[in-house]
Structure 1
Amino acid sequence: MSTEVRNNTAMERFEIYVDGAIAGYAEYQDTASERAFVHTEIYPSYERQGYATQLVGTALAGTRREGFGVLPMCPLVHHFVQTHPEYIASVPQWARQRLGLPQ
């Protein structure tokens, strides 16, 4: 199966496609310097196949490349950041304590 993650800026979300069909998305809201991830959804027929991890990892890497800080408001993105410590530095210092992330 081929997968692709795209940033759909018009809808403010990253989308994951599997063999050309949309399998899920991670919605965000941008401020001047941060990108708040507010909701992530993987459609039922694509659950438990690693697509959420691929989607969020690619979305966070792209966000970092664009120069935004990450605000992991969505529980799935929050968990991803907690379990992938290389992304903690992408969360602004002021937000880490509020979100229960390591300093």
Structure 2
Amino acid sequence: MAVEIVDVPEARRFEARLTGQDGRGEGEGAKVAGFAEYLRTPELIVFLHTEVDPAHEGQGIGSTLARVSLDAAREAGLRVLATCPFYAGWIGHHPEYADLLYQSRSRVAD
């Protein structure tokens, strides 16, 4: 069984789909084992919530979701705002993705 990460923009999420013998095929027929919800603007992607089916926890599905979706953000030239605790923690453990993080440029002065 393999994991395929698919961006599903109409659902505003990346899905981790299981393909192969137990995953029931490829594409939309494959079993969704996890997802990462997001909001996206032309400049920014905000990762809001990540969920992995308890039957598939500990199999690297969340990490694969994070890596593939962050690589997609990099390729699209997007900044990343990780409000999801999983994404924030994952990026903290993978500093090669820290350059994607959104930095507020506004300055407040009294």
Please report the TM-score for the alignment, with normalisation by the length of structure 1. Answer: 0.87
For residue 93 of structure 1, report the CA deviation from its aligned partner.
2.7
Over the aligned positions, Cα root-mean-square deviation in angstroms equals 1.2
Matched residues, percent identical? 34
Give the number of the structure whose alpha-carbon radius of gyration is greater. Answer: 2
Where does the alignment leave 5 or more consecutive residues of structure 2 unmatched?
20-29, 106-110
Cα separation, 2, equivalents of 1:92 and 1:85: 14
For residue 18 of structure 1, report the CA deviation from its aligned partner.
1.1
For residue 3 of structure 1, report the CA deviation from its aligned partner.
1.2
Which structure 1 residue ranges, 4+ long, deviate > 3 Å from structure 2?
A: none
Of 95, 102, 108, 1:92 maps to 102
Aligned to 1:26: 36
Could you report, residue by residue, the CA deviation over 1:48-88 in whole angstroms, capped at 9, with x for unpaired residues?
A: 11111011110110111111100011000000110100111
Cα separation, 2, equivalents of 1:32 and 1:5: 21
Aligned to 2:17: 17
Where does the alignment leave 5 or more consecutive residues of structure 1 unmatched?
96-103
Cα separation, 1, equivalents of 2:98 and 2:69: 14
Please report the TM-score for the alignment, with normalisation by the length of structure 2. Answer: 0.82
For residue 8 of structure 1, report the CA deviation from its aligned partner.
0.1
